[in-house]
């Protein structure tokens, strides 16, 4: 059986995961949208928003990403997507996830500042560092090295995959913003941005935001997990039974 890593296979697997676990994906979409919802309700100048911004902007998305990795990987290896187990696992490995995320962001940003291309290359090399940290439960350094090994020789394919995923996310977020402006549920007025939306605006924007911005973020997360799964099958020729051994 040909296990070669291909972007088409990743997208096919991704949409299969989303379709088969759609209620769970909607749950994660709603949770992903919480930071935006908090911003819309409280406004950026609210002291409550400022005090919660670190949790909303960093901790919650990271925990959701870790839980998504664990749940999707379980599904890909023949196990059900258990939400409570996934969240508990992400909580247990939070500091590893945070460490990996900080290093990846720093390396990518430094590379972008220097010459742009090194930043892109660093992002591709470390594309599956978070899935590695979550699934294999290794240290930060080991996760980075493991990602480098798995992505070696596949950077161009990952680049194409990343471009498509990024375009998909931007289009979905743009569609959400466009529809919200058209129906009158969103305003670019600085006073609204700073002090929060009206109840009418929230009723309109929240479902749209969950179905576009939130769901696209969930799909983007699934892409990363499926890429890790497919890279392992490609580079290691690992059977599904062996991949699933981590959950036994």
pLDDT tier for residue 48 given thresholds of 50, 70 and 90: low
224-243 average pLDDT score? 80
Q: What is the pTM of this model?
A: 0.81
State the chain's mean pLDDT as an integer: 79
Q: What is the pLDDT of residues 165-179, one digit of tens each?
A: 888 778 877 776 676
pLDDT tier for residue 240 given thresholds of 50, 70 and 90: low
Residue at token pair 């439960």: 137
Read out DSSP for 113-156?
HHTSHHHHHHHHHTTTHHHHHHHH---HHHHHHHHHHHHTT-HH
Per-residue pLDDT for 195 more than 50? Answer: no
HSE-CB of 45 using CA atoms within 13 angstroms: 8
Between 113 and 131, where is the model more confident?
Answer: 131
Per-residue pLDDT for 29 more than 70? Answer: yes
């Amino acid at each position: 059986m040909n296990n070669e890593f291909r972007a088409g296979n990743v997208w096919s697997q991704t949409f299969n995961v989303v379709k088969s676990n759609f209620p769970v994906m909607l749950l994660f979409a709603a949770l992903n949208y919480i930071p935006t919802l908090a911003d819309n309700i409280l406004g950026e100048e609210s002291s409550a928003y400022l005090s919660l911004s670190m949790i909303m902007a960093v901790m919650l998305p990271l925990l959701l990403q870790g839980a998504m990795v664990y749940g999707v990987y379980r599904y890909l290896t023949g196990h059900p997507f258990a939400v409570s187990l996934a969240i508990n696992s992400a909580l247990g490995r939070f500091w590893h996830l945070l460490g990996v995320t900080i290093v990846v962001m720093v390396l990518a940003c430094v590379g972008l500042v220097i010459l742009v291309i090194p930043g892109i290359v660093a992002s591709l090399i470390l594309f599956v560092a978070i899935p590695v940290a979550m699934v294999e439960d290794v240290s930060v350094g080991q996760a980075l090295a493991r990602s480098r090994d798995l992505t070696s020789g596949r950077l161009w394919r990952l680049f194409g995959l990343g471009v498509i995923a990024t375009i998909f996310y931007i289009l979905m977020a743009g569609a959400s913003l466009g529809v919200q402006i058209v129906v009158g549920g969103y305003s670019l007025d600085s006073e609204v941005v700073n002090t929060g939306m009206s109840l009418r605006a929230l009723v309109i924007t929240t479902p749209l935001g969950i179905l576009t911005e939130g769901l696209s973020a969930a799909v983007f997360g699934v892409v990363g997990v499926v890429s890790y799964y497919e890279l392992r099958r490609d580079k290691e020729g690992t059977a599904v039974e062996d991949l699933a051994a981590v959950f036994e």
